[in-house]
Chains A and B, each alone.
Chain A
Amino acid sequence: MAFVNLKKKQIQVKIVYYGPGRGGKTTNLEYIYSRFSERIKTEMVTIKTHGDRTLFFDFLPFDIGKIKGYDVKIQLYTVPGQVKYNATRRLVLRGVDGIVFVADSMAVRKEKNILSLKNLEENLSAYKKKLNQVPLVLQYNKRDLAEQGIPLLSHETLEQSLNADLKAAAFDASALTGKNVVATMKKIIALTMVSLEKQLS
């Protein structure tokens, strides 16, 4: 549940970008930060290894102004995608309000996507949450690689393997070029705000 300050009429919303390692979670946040830093007037916090992998998490907070009379502060997080960092992923998921699952469209990453989604479900269950009860958007990233002749999973295959039961909103995207990065973020914020409004009313 989001942090709500009734006295100050503030809501802090936590959105976590989850997915397999090297899938583009950090690149999503970097794109948003690089394109809109002038407007959101904030700093992106990132803790990386010297090999450019996310070590703990990335954090991008920004205000979106008043919704229903409340000042809404959005906090975007990523988790480290590497399998070995599961305890960190679980900690970052604590108090999550909405999730973007960033899947890697490369054909060779099909299994990694499925395993990561399963891992997300397991980690949510530690907080007694079910994936189909949390606002969720799927992003099928790296679609730009098709132009380079890299074998990709089709949208239909990704839907079948990841979204058949969840039936969440899904976007084909390229975090590198920015295609549908903002659309994904807008969608998860909107879904999360609707969900929070229901919980608060």
Chain B
Amino acid sequence: MNTKGDEAVTEEVEKRLDDIFGDEGDGQPPSLDNGSLAQDSPLRNLKGIVLSIDWEITDEIMDRFLEEINRLRDSYAGEKIPGLFLQLLGSVGKYIRNQKARAHPDSIRVLNSVYNSFEKVLMDGSMPEAEKRNWLFNEVNHFKKLKQDISHARSEPTESAVQPEPPAPQPTEEAPDEGGGVETVSPGPEQDIMPAHEAFAYALEEIRQVIKAEFQALRAELRLWREGR
């Protein structure tokens, strides 16, 4: 229940906050891609799954992603450009599924970029074929760059003594397609590691618990000592 005192504080706080945050501020709002999909869009499910993918990758989400890719590949069988986009998405998706949190950080960005280009190409009915191919080649280049970065990361020495980097994935080439030489990326073995800062925070928490336990024991001893006197 609100008291008069509560209301007075609330009023004073709100007045101060209105002075600072009263209107919409001085800066520019962040941009937002408002590209909407119709209820019956063939990409509706895929877009939902792509947006839900993050570094806490679960097998369930990635399985759904790959199933949706397979479903769309069936739907677009015989159509070269959509087929190649889906092949790209499938390749990056498989890599992320296997690497999960240890996937190269750019892999999520590449996945999003390939998806966005795919959506543009598919949803713009008036886009000329040449322009569609440009979008595709652009994404193939992003994918190739990712593959290079993964290989490069593998060859770099480890930086942390606490937790070595997991072995980088081994890229392997699939038979190239006419449209742009799409490649697959197969994962390396998985490791369960704790990042350095988290290990530090964990250790700090452990130390705190030990000190707490020590003080409790000391207090108990003092109590016994006093009672014994």
Contact = CB atoms under 8 A, between A and B. Distances in A.
Interface in A82-140: 82-85, 87-88, 90-91, 106-109, 112
Contacts, number: 150
Contact of A84 (B26, B52, B194): B194
B220 interface: no
Interface stretch (B126-134, B158-166, B172-180, B200-208): B200-208
A177 interface: yes
A21 B54 CA distance: 8
Interface stretch (A2-10, A34-42, A153-161, A164-172): A34-42
A67 interface: yes
Interface stretch (B34-42, B67-75, B84-92, B137-145): B34-42
Given A34-B27, A36-B25, A90 B32 contact: no
B29 A90 contact: no
B12 A67 contact: yes
Interface string B14-41: 1011011100111111101011111101
Given A39-B20, A67-B12, A147-B34, A90 B205 contact: yes
A186 B170 CA distance: 50
Contacts of A67: 9, 12-13, 16
A176 B6 CA distance: 32
Contacts of B36: 147-149
A83 B54 CA distance: 12
A108 B50 CA distance: 11
Nearest to A144: B32
Interface in B142-191: none
A22 interface: yes
A65 B56 contact: no
Given A40-B20, A189-B17, A106 B34 contact: no
Contacts of A39: 20-21, 25-26
A59 interface: no
B65 to A, nearest CB: 11
B27 A38 contact: yes
Contacts of B30: 27, 30-31, 34, 176-178
Contact of B198 (A30, A38, A84, A112): A84
Interface of A: 21-22, 27, 30-32, 34-40, 49-53, 55-56, 62, 64-68, 72, 82-85, 87-88, 90-91, 106-109, 112, 144-145, 147-151, 176-178, 182, 185-186, 189-190, 193-194, 197-198, 201
Interface of B: 5-6, 9-10, 12-14, 16-17, 19-21, 24-30, 32, 34-39, 41, 44, 47-49, 51-52, 54-56, 61, 101, 105-106, 108-109, 194-195, 197-198, 201-202, 204-205
